[in-house]
């Protein structure tokens, strides 16, 4: 079949925009029905407009609407004959087929514009696959030489990097280990969005390498990872989750060099903390990982790998997945992979030997011994509280029979702002749901009712915002809203738009209906939103707050100091006149919905520890009589019994003690004389 030239761009990254009417009027995917083909032996595969628009399209010409009686330029049959087999097709199926049509148009352009023969061949294969799925009304399934389904190698790159972090850094303190986790997340993110070089380019650069094996992985990467980024009808997989050591070996050297070169070129644009992380720690991290990638007996690529230290199983690496912000048939979920082995089992030393670790048994033993020595040599922090005492106090404050005083069933005057809302959520009085409109599937009636309720709440509570503008954003598929539901109706919500590739979310609207305010709902709403974004690995909020909302956002941890680079959000976030840009950086280690409970419990623990210390001293000293003699002040450490309580002078007070009064007098006297001169 001969296809006309299509002006659609062929993106390599990011979302796509739907074609205009002028782009598609010359070529319409409307295959002839089977009955029509059987009766008249029609060989036409698609209806073609008898009056095609000029190329390139002209904006001054009026668009001609095509009717079902228009004849095809190829077979002279009416358009109705081409679509008669689609009369009983459901709307959902029709939308799916139209989505595949758009993907075919994209691949058609890619085939015509691609210069590399291997890449062009893959594009053409996928083009024919999608065209066939349209004609047969089936789902596209990759077949032939690509019969093997993901994952193509185990362990995957993601699991190998997780094992590497365990193997090399499990002995580090939590803060330093968290830095390594951030580096690992950064590396996995770059792998997922790394554009592989074509086999022909690799053949020129490394003629001695195994080109056939690389070509096979390159083809799989195009079909399962790269092309699905702009063709929603194809299932998408993350590179780090479906490929393993073989692909990583083939790209690591080039990738490492380009990453470090890019970091050096853009160092002035990076924030100070990111600059230290990338320029200081990242090169060393990549060098250590490179040794394990190319080592023949590295244990991190063993499928039965388990860390020697069980405490590192609490650590986790989340692969940063930033899907294009378009409504499609494929759902993208943030992958959270624990550093603990996924099968959850345990491996004995003998099993490890069988799996290949016996080739270097001393290395694992050395790591265990060094870890034990590290623990034994670690100096005890002065004034640190024994863990047994903490557990004893915890058992006391959590046991109602052991706690004296008034009943705590009712909220105290000093309870947290969100305490009442938290209790209502536990009793089922209120609910929280993330809702949004969708073009790929029809929302259910309840979601649509909630969206209308949210639109009404925002319009009523934000009278300065045009109602049409609020409606457009609430029902925009790119925006989502965290809805607060009470007694089946919407009483509040936060409308937001996520920009995963930029690392932030824009908060657009935030409101609670007036008769439900001052109940902690606003704080609890924001805490739920923070936890939702931590699960999706987006750790920055941005919003434009007017003069009435600044106080609320300050209470929720927002400030005017924006932590992310300006280049990340300029052109993405919506500007509002007379409003203040505020930001909030999330800590993934904080459970925000229970944060106030944790702080309250910590205060109770400290209070009980103070009471225990006071009970241990049990000594009463006479009052201070020095003030009767005219002394105006005394050092704190001279108070009888103060040191027995555990008090220690701070560094500033120690430095004050070290100063000689005579020396200070002479110094100040000389300064005074110099000033007089």
* CA separation, residue 573 to residues 106, 304, 566 (Å): 28, 46, 11
C-alpha to C-alpha distance for 217 and 210, rounded to whole angstroms: 11
Token pair 């110099």 in the structure block, residue? 674
In this structure, the answer to whether residues 175 and 258 fall within a common structural domain is: yes
Range of the structural domain that residue 513 is part of: 419-595
> What's the pLDDT score for residue 162?
92
Q: Is residue 305 part of a domain?
A: yes
Residue 653 is assigned to a structural domain of this protein: yes
If asked whether residues 314 and 167 sit together in one domain, one would say: yes
Strand-pair partners of 658: none
Do 126 and 166 sit in the same domain of this protein?
A: no
Q: Are 397 and 605 a contacting pair, CB within 8 Å? A: yes
CA distance 522 to 511: 8
From 158, 216, 292, 506, active-site residue: 506
> Residue 546: CB partners within 8 Å, gap ≥ 6?
464, 576, 578, 579, 580
Q: For residues 535 and 659, state if they share a domain.
A: no
- Cα-only R_g, the chain: 33
CA nearest neighbour of 479 among 508, 459, 500: 508
Query: Do residues 598 and 591 make contact, with C-beta atoms less than 8 angstroms apart?
Result: yes
Domain assignment present for 544: yes
Q: Are residues 454 and 516 in the same domain?
A: yes
Find out whether 461 and 516 touch, Cβ atoms under 8 Å.
no
DSSP string, 452-521: HHHHHHHHHH-TTS-HHHHHHHHT-TTEEEEEEEETTEEEEEEEEEEETTTTEEEEEEEEE-GGG-SSSH
Residue 182 and residue 178: Cα distance in Å, rounded? 6
62-to-53, 54, 100, 213, 429 alpha-carbon distances in Å: 10, 12, 28, 53, 57
Whether residues 205 and 334 fall in one domain: yes
For the residues of 322-342, what is the DSSP string, one character each? ---SS--SS----EEEESS-T
Residue 66 lies inside a defined structural domain of this protein: yes
Alpha carbon separation from 332 to 235, 496, 504, 536 (Å, rounded): 10, 18, 17, 10
Per the CB < 8 A criterion, the answer to whether 223 and 122 are in contact is yes
**604 falls within a domain:** no
Give yes or no: residues 440 and 546 share one domain. Answer: yes
- 64 domain-assigned: yes
Residue 23 has a pLDDT of 41
Question: What pLDDT digit, counting tens, does each position of 435-489 carry?
Answer: 999 888 887 888 899 999 999 999 998 888 899 999 999 999 999 999 999 988 9
Q: Considering the domain boundaries, does residue 106 fall inside one?
A: yes
665 within some domain: yes
pLDDT value, residue 654: 52
520 and 544 part of one domain:
yes
Burial 546-573 (b: 16+ CB within 10 A, else e): eeebeeebeebbbeeebebeeebbeeeb
Say how far apart CA 518 and CA 513 lie, in whole Å.
Answer: 10
Say if residue 86 is in the same domain as residue 185: no
166 and 106 within one domain = no
Residues 6+ apart with CB under 8 A from 249: 293, 294
Q: Which of 78, 106, 141 is the last residue of a domain?
A: 141
Give catalytic status of residue 506 as yes or no. Answer: yes
Cα–Cα distances (Å) from 194 to 221, 252, 349, 663, in that order, read: 11, 11, 38, 66
Q: Of 542, 576, 595, which residue is a domain's last? A: 595
Q: Which residues are bridge partners to 78 per DSSP?
A: 71
> Same domain, yes or no, for 443 and 572?
yes
Contact 238, 192 (CB under 8 A): yes
- Domain with residue 550: its CATH number is 3.40.630.30
Across 201-343, the runs of DSSP E, i.e. the strands, are 316-319, 335-338
Residue 91 sits in the same domain as residue 170: no
Low-confidence ranges of the chain (pLDDT < 50): 1-29, 32-39, 307-378, 380, 382, 400-401, 404-413
The number of distinct structural domains making up the chain is 4
pTM score = 0.43
* Dihedral of alpha carbons 280, 282, 284, 285, sign: positive
Q: Where are the beta strands (DSSP E) in 214-334?
A: 316-319
**Distance from C-alpha of 437 to C-alpha of 423, rounded to nearest angstrom:** 30
């Amino acid at each position: 079949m001969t296809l006309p030239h299509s002006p659609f761009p062929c993106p390599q990254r990011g979302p796509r925009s739907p074609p205009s009417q002028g782009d598609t009027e010359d070529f319409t995917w409307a295959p002839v029905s089977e009955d029509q083909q059987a009766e008249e032996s029609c060989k036409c595969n698609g209806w073609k407009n008898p009056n095609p628009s000029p190329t390139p399209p002209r904006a001054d010409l009026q668009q001609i609407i095509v009717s079902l009686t228009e004849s095809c330029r190829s077979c002279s049959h009416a358009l109705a004959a081409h679509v008669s087999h689609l009369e009983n097709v459901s709307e959902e199926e029709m939308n799916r087929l139209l989505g595949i049509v758009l993907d075919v148009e994209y691949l058609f352009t890619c085939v015509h514009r691609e210069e590399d023969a291997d890449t062009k061949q893959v594009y053409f294969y996928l083009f024919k696959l999608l065209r066939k799925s349209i004609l047969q009304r089936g789902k596209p399934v990759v077949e032939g030489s690509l019969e093997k389904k993901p994952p193509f190698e185990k362990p995957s790159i993601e699991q190998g990097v997780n094992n590497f972090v365990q193997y090399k850094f499990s002995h580090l303190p939590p803060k330093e280990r968290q830095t390594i986790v951030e580096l690992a997340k950064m590396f996995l993110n770059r792998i997922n969005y790394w554009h592989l070089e074509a086999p022909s380019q690799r053949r020129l650069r490394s003629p001695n390498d195994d080109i056939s094996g690389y070509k096979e992985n390159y083809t799989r990467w195009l079909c399962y990872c790269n092309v699905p980024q702009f063709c929603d009808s194809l299932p998408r997989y993350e590179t780090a989750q479906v490929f393993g050591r073989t692909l990583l070996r083939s790209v690591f050297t080039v990738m490492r060099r380009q990453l470090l070169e890019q970091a050096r070129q853009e160092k002035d644009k990076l924030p100070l903390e990111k600059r230290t992380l990338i320029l200081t720690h990242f090169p060393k991290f990549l060098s250590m990982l490179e040794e394990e990638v190319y080592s023949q007996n590295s244990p991190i690529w063993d499928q039965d790998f388990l860390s020697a230290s069980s405490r590192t199983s609490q650590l986790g690496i989340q692969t940063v997945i930033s899907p294009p912000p378009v409504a499609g048939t494929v759902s993208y979920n943030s992958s959270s992979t624990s550093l603990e082995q996924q099968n959850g089992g345990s491996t004995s030393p003998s099993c490890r030997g069988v799996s290949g670790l016996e080739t270097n048994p001393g290395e694992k033993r050395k790591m265990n011994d060094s870890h034990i020595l590290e623990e034994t040599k670690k100096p005890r922090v002065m004034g640190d509280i024994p863990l047994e005492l903490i557990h004893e106090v915890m058992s006391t404050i959590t046991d109602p029979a052991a706690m004296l005083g008034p009943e705590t069933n009712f909220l105290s005057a000093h309870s947290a702002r969100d305490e009442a809302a938290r209790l209502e959520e536990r009793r089922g009085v209120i609910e929280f749901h993330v809702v949004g409109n969708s073009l790929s599937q029809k929302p259910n009636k309840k979601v649509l009712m909630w969206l209308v309720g949210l639109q009404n709440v925002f319009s009523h509570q934000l009278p300065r915002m045009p109602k049409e503008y609020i409606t457009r954003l609430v029902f925009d598929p790119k925006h989502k809203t965290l809805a607060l539901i009470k007694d089946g109706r919407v009483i509040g919500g936060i409308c937001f738009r996520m920009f995963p590739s930029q690392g932030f979310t824009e908060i657009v609207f935030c409101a609670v209906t007036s008769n439900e305010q001052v109940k902690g709902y606003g704080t609890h709403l924001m805490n739920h939103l923070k936890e939702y974004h931590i699960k999706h690995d987006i750790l920055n909020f941005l919003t434009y707050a007017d003069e009435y909302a600044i106080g609320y956002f300050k209470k929720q941890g927002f400030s005017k100091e924006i932590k992310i680079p300006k280049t990340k959000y300029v052109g993405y976030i919506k500007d509002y006149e007379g409003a203040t840009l505020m930001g909030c950086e999330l800590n993934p280690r904080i459970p925000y919905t229970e944060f106030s409970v944790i702080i309250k419990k910590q205060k109770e623990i400290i209070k009980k520890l103070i009471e225990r210390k006071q009970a241990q001293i049990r000594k009463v000293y006479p009052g201070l009589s020095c003030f009767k003699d005219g002394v105006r002040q005394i050092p704190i450490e001279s108070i009888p019994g103060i040191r027995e309580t555990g008090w220690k002078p701070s560094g500033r007070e120690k430095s004050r003690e070290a100063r000689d009064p005579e020396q200070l007098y002479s110094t100040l006297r000389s300064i005074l004389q110099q000033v007089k001169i």
